[in-house]
Amino acid sequence: MSELLNILNTPEFQSKATIKRQLRQLGIVAGDALMVHSSLKSMGWIAGGAQAVVEALIETLTERGTLIMPAQSADNSDPVYWMEPPVPENWHQPIREQLPAFDPYFSGLRGMGKIVECFHRHPMTSRSPHPSHSFIAQGSQAAHWMIEQPIDDSFGKQSPLAKMLQADVKILFIGVGFDSCTALHYAEFVQENRSTSPQGAAILKDGQRIWQTYDCVDMDSDRFPEIAKAFPGEISEGLLGQAKTRLVEMKPLVEFGIDWLSKHRVL
């Protein structure tokens, strides 16, 4: 039924060729490094769906570019924080003991969308090793950017984001808002007065499945639209399929976010 409604609400035929043409109109070219946040549903009906979108992105950037998407696995976390849905308290310890260890190829994603799930399945896609906050990438910088992600510094100075900030990465939002902007978590992680909460995840260590506890920086993506609204740099707008898009340079946005958060502390 949802597929039928998408067709009925799409005024013109759309395909991979449509998406590639629109990407060029947005100014995305071969060799670009591009982080994508997306909602397939917002794009309307496309022949080939998520596969067509992923192929369009890969073919536009070419092997000289790098395509990146957040690939978080929120299920691999301490069940005490689970709220959608919550689980009975007497299940918490059995979950910690029995949850399968993170596997970059096998572990699923949660709430990331169909485009990300499709990109994860591509055989040339690399995934970073964090059990809850991983990224996936393909292209010239993928192996370098994805190789390391410390469990207690998933978005900080030793994370893939830190490496991306040394390059010219663009962030593309397809039918989603700045509350999805994973790069701005870096601005939270490098704050001097950041707070943390105890967290845990199932990982493999020396070939054995263990429950690893760690301190995770407290994050609040609800503040990210405020940062984007105050950002003095350029945020260009356009269309991809039927979805409204926004395109922004990662480094100036994150640098502004670091300063903005330092001046707008939550008391």
Q: How many helices (H) and strands (E) does the chain have?
A: 10, 9
- Residue-wise pLDDT tens digits, 159-169: 999 999 999 99
- Residue-wise pLDDT tens digits, 199-221: 999 999 999 999 999 999 999 99
Residue 3 has a pLDDT of: 63
pLDDT over 60 (residue 5): no
Residue 4 has a pLDDT of: 56
Q: Give the integer Cα–Cα distance in Å for 11 and 26.
A: 21
Tell me the pLDDT band of 181, cut-offs 50, 70 and 90: very high
pLDDT over 70 (residue 2): no
Tokens of residue 43, six digits: 């794009």
* Three-state DSSP string of 59-117: HHHCCCCEEEEECCCCCCCCHHHCCCCCCCHHHHHHHHHHCCCCCCCCCCCCCCCHHHH
Helix (H, G, I), strand (E, B) or coil at 29: coil
Tell me the pLDDT band of 267, cut-offs 50, 70 and 90: low
Tracing tokens 């409604």 back to the chain, one arrives at: 5
Residue 11 has a pLDDT of: 85
Residue 137 has a pLDDT of: 98
- Residue-wise pLDDT tens digits, 29-43: 999 999 999 999 999
